[in-house]
């Protein structure tokens, strides 16, 4: 959990704004450090976290979270964290074995045009399951869905439209119905093209998700090039803010990722410069 | 022109609000809903993009009796067993039944939030056909739709917007809560009017038009001439005081007309030359060489 980011977003583990869809996007950069932030943030706020880790193994997230002061293994044992390890689950679909039941959530790998309905059903069943407290189990807060990352589904053959439908349904179920939150990471590799004419592809997915989200954290490299002390810039864009009136608000910060966290500062105020 | 549109859309009209990632047109759409409710019209809303609460936030209770929301947000594709409204139902017959079910004699205004959802799941020609038939049929008086222009191909957006009788493209404005609207209005006679206005939307969903931007700025009549005093290593320019001194300076051999006449026709009091020849001078005007001792 990065304390500076909490103050920028005006959020704290004790008071979590419900019903938010936070979109973390990056362009030719790596915004996965923000996913680690949100993972530790929501675990600390005692929410039930459903993590779809499609690109890294559980051990990777566990190691990073250890440095941020949160133990994923413990959270999983206590039932607070439901971790779907995409890499392992996909093996059960790609290399079916007699004794191993096929994971239903990843069955889009078998037939991509079918879409992500089963993945949504999986998410919904995990989120609904948090409502019922079993004997001796702890009560957790509203469900939070984290997806790292959504763009990898495009490279697995899923249509951008199907991914947008999936995020819409998850938002309807998790954010609106159960008053939980949702964080998704989407990545773009190319330059921003003005004349993008296609409906498929990462650009269309990014635009569609930006329309759906309520808060967008867009990570990019510095426009002036590589710098050792400043790793990039984050543009924080609030789309809907209750009580502030109907207008969007944008703020630009620069960041540096450390061993045990990341620091955020307004442009030009890096400690290396001042 | 924005205020005129807010006061009413003509029967059979299709108004499309085009927005993008940088500015959401949903607040303007809600202003149109509020304006229609204030005019005591029946309003049917197809709610795909956002939840019903979010869309109707700010609409005052006494008017909401005339507001019928068909909530397609939780299940637009029919993945559960009982969808309230699914995108497959976006057809003339189903929509006409839906509107007539409200059992009000007046034809209603249909609001679609957003048309992008429908365009992602239905073929654009079918959507255009449905919109056109809705306008011509009797059940719906006018249609107002929100379209996310950057989510579709330009051809799709162009085809759908071509059907519209009024088109408002919104973009973020110069200041924080202001926005710029480019309005195109096609009247039945075929005349097209365009305008560009800056507006902002207040808390109670009224639109305040701030200024009308001039349509075309007059082209620079001042042609830029090459400035010879630019890009030099020395200074050829004059300061203000230097310029004044230069204007005042009279040149030595540039005479004004008065000075010329004064010199050519000497008046009284000017100098005269008086010559008194002495003995050595041989003043003979005819022979100038007389004094030569040759």
User: In the A/B pair of chains, how many CB contacts fall below 8 A?
Assistant: 59
| Cβ-based contacts of B177 with chain A (< 8 Å) | 245-247
3-state helix/strand/coil string of B187-219: CCCCCEEEEEEEEEECCCCCEEEEEECCCCCCC
Q: Select from A129, A159, A178 the least CA-distant residue to A21.
A: A178
For chain B, what's the residue count? 294
Give the pLDDT of residue A63. 93
Give the pLDDT of residue A247. 61
Q: How far apart are CA A64 and CA B46, in angstroms?
A: 45
Tokens at B207, concatenated: 């639109």
A117-129 vs A160-170: helix crossing angle, rounded to 10: 20
Sheet with A81-85, edge to edge strand ranges: A81-85, A47-53, A141-148, A181-188, A21-27, A215-220, A232-238, A249-257, A262-266
Tokens at B78, concatenated: 């029919």
Tokens at B62, concatenated: 């006494």
Q: How far apart are CA B144 and CA B165, in angstroms?
A: 10
- In our burial notation (b when 16+ CB lie closer than 10 A, e otherwise), range A227-257 reads eeebbbbbebbbbbeeeeebbbeeeebbbbe
Interchain pair A197, B151: CB under 8 A: no
> Mutating which of A198, A216, A247 best tests the B interface, going by the most B Cβ atoms within 10 A?
A247
Give the pLDDT of residue A139. 77
- Calculate the alpha carbon distances from B149 to A65, B146, B159 in Å: 40, 9, 12
Give the pLDDT of residue A74. 92
Interface ipTM: 0.84
Q: Residue ranges of the alpha helices (H) in chain B? A: 2-7, 26-38, 52-56, 92-101, 115-121, 124-136, 154-163, 240-248, 257-264
| A176: nearest CB among B22, B51, B151 | B51
Give the pLDDT of residue B268. 65
- Supply the pTM of this predicted model: 0.80
Q: What are B112-160's pLDDT values in tens digits? A: 988 999 999 999 999 999 998 888 877 788 899 999 998 888 899 999 9
Give the pLDDT of residue B147. 94
Using an 8 Å CB-CB cutoff, list residues of chain B that contact chain A.
21-24, 27, 49, 51, 53-54, 73-77, 79, 116, 120-121, 148, 150-154, 172, 176-177, 200-203
Question: Tens-digit pLDDT profile for chain A (274 aa)?
Answer: 888 888 888 888 888 888 899 999 998 888 999 999 999 999 999 989 999 999 999 999 999 999 988 999 999 999 899 999 888 888 888 887 766 666 677 888 888 778 888 899 999 988 887 555 555 556 788 999 999 889 999 888 888 999 999 999 999 999 998 999 999 999 988 766 554 544 457 888 999 999 999 999 999 988 888 888 889 999 998 886 544 455 677 889 999 998 888 888 888 888 777 7
Q: How far apart are CA A175 and CA A22, in angstroms?
A: 11
Q: How far apart are CA B53 and CA A90, in angstroms?
A: 38
Please list the ranges in chain B whose pLDDT falls under 50: 215-223
Interchain pair B74, A177: CB under 8 A: yes
N-terminal to C-terminal alpha carbon distance within chain B: 109
- In our burial notation (b when 16+ CB lie closer than 10 A, e otherwise), range B42-70 reads bbbbbbbbbbbebbbebbeeebeebbbbb
Beta-bridge partners for A266 = A253
Q: Does A208 touch chain B (CB under 8 A)?
A: yes
Tokens at B46, concatenated: 């197809």
Q: How far apart are CA B192 and CA B107, in angstroms?
A: 27
Give the pLDDT of residue B118. 92
Give the pLDDT of residue B58. 76
Give the pLDDT of residue A106. 81
Give the pLDDT of residue B249. 85
N-terminal to C-terminal alpha carbon distance within chain A: 25
With 0-12 / 13-18 / 19 or more C-beta atoms within 10 angstroms meaning exposed / middle / buried, residue A120 is buried
Give the pLDDT of residue B284. 62
Nearest chain B Cα distance for residue A192, angstroms: 13
| Cβ-based contacts of B85 with chain A (< 8 Å) | none
């Amino acid at each position: 959990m990065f304390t500076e980011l909490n103050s920028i977003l005006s959020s704290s583990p004790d008071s979590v704004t419900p019903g938010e869809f936070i979109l973390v996007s990056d362009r030719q950069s790596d915004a996965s450090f923000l996913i680690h932030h949100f993972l530790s943030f929501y675990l600390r706020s005692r929410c039930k976290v459903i993590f779809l880790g499609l690109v890294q193994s559980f051990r990777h997230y566990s190691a990073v979270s250890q440095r941020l002061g949160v133990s994923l293994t413990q959270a999983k044992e206590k039932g607070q964290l439901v971790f779907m390890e995409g890499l392992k689950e996909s093996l059960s679909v790609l290399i079916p074995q007699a004794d191993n039941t096929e994971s239903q959530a990843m069955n889009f790998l078998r037939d991509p045009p079918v879409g992500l309905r089963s993945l949504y059903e999986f998410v919904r069943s995990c989120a609904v399951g948090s409502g019922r407290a079993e004997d001796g189990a702890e009560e957790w807060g509203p469900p939070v869905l984290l997806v790292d990352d959504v763009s990898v589904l495009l490279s697995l053959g899923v249509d951008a439209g199907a991914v947008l439908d999936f995020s819409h349904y998850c938002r309807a179920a998790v954010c609106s119905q159960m008053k939980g939150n949702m964080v998704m990471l989407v990545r773009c590799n190319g330059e921003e093209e003005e004349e993008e004419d296609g409906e498929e592809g990462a650009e269309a997915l990014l635009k569609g998700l930006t329309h759906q989200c309520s808060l967008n954290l867009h990570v990019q490299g510095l426009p002036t090039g590589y710098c050792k002390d400043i790793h990039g810039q984050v543009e924080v864009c609030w789309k809907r803010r209750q009580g502030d009136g109907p207008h969007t608000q944008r703020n630009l910060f620069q960041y540096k990722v450390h061993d045990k966290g990341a620091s955020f500062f307004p442009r030009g105020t890096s400690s290396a410069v001042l | 022109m924005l205020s005129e549109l807010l006061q009413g859309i003509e029967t059979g009209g299709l108004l499309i609000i085009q927005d993008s990632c940088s500015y959401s047109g949903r607040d303007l759409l809600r202003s149109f809903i509020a304006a229609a409710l204030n005019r005591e019209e029946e309003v049917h809303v197809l709610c795909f993009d956002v939840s019903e609460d979010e869309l109707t936030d700010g609409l005052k209770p006494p008017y909401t009796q005339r507001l019928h929301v068909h909530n397609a947000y939780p299940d637009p594709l029919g993945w559960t067993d009982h969808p309230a409204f699914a995108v497959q139902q976006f057809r003339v017959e189903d929509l006409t039944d839906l509107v007539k079910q409200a059992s009000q004699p007046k034809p209603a205004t249909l609001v679609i939030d957003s048309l992008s959802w429908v365009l992602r799941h239905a073929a654009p020609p079918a959507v255009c056909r449905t919109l056109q038939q809705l306008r011509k049929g009797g059940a719906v008086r006018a249609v107002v739709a929100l379209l996310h222009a950057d989510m579709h191909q330009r051809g799709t957006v162009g085809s759908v917007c071509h059907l519209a009788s009024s088109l408002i493209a919104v973009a973020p404005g110069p200041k924080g809560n202001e926005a710029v609207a480019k309005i195109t209005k096609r009247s039945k006679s075929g005349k097209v009017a365009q305008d560009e206005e800056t507006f902002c939307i207040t808390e109670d969903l009224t639109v305040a038009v701030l200024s009308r931007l001039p349509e075309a700025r007059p082209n620079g009549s001042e042609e830029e001439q090459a400035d010879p005093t630019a890009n030099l290593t020395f200074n050829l320019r004059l300061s203000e005081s230097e310029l004044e001194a230069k204007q005042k300076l009279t040149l030595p051999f540039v005479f004004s007309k008065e000075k010329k006449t004064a010199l050519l026709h000497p008046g009284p009091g000017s100098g005269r030359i008086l010559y008194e020849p002495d003995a050595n001078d041989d003043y003979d005007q005819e022979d100038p060489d007389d004094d030569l001792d040759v």
